[in-house]
Amino acid sequence: MFNKGDILLPSNNLKKNDWLNGLFHPAVVWDQNYNGKSDFRGIMITHTSHSANADNILMAANHFENGYPVRFTNSHFVNKIFIKFHFWGPFELVGRLTAEGMNFIERNLDTSIDPIQFTIYRDSLIAN
């Protein structure tokens, strides 16, 4: 069971590296609870500061809990809520946001747009 603020990646290395068909960037669970067996709402963490489709927002070191592989390294969150697919898993916990990190995203997240399937977003990036 995963919780809001948990940061996930596929536990299978082949799936981690297949960004066109799976989850390449770490995903922050944005549902209160996630059982790992269904699609989930997630926030993408990236090192890219800006893309044609979104203003990515720079985070800070205090937004990430210590002791996990995913930590602040010029990390940004993509200012959208994505639908992440369960078949990209199984997933493993690779990080956690602190309360400050979750509050930061909640204060800055554009909630005027409905959650978008990641594949639609990905296809728009490839087209540009």
Per residue, the 3-state secondary structure of the chain, as one string, reads: CEECCEEEEECCHHHHCCCCCCCCCCEEECCCEECCCCCEEEEEEECCCEECCEEEEECCHHHECCCCCCCCCCCEEECCCEEECHHHCCEEEEEEECHHHHHHHHHHCCCCCCCEEHHHHHHHHHHC
Average pLDDT over residues 90-98: 94
Beta bridge partners of 45: 77
The tokens for 62 are 């205090």
Sketch the domain layout of the chain as residue ranges. Answer: 2-127
Q: Which of 13-22, 94-103, 105-114 has the highest mean pLDDT?
A: 94-103
17-35 pLDDT per residue, tens:
554 455 568 899 999 998 8
With a cut of 90, say whether residue 48 has pLDDT above it.
Answer: no
pTM (2 decimals)? 0.86
Given the candidates 2.30.30, 1.10.357, 3.40.50, 3.40.1350, the CATH classification of the domain at 2-127 is: 2.30.30
The yes-or-no verdict on residue 122 having pLDDT over 90 is no
**Omega before residue 26 within 30° of 0, cis:** no
Q: How many CA atoms lie within 13 A of 88 on its CB side?
A: 24
Q: How far apart are CA 32 and CA 22, in angstroms?
A: 22
The span from the CA of 121 to the CA of 111, in Å, is: 16
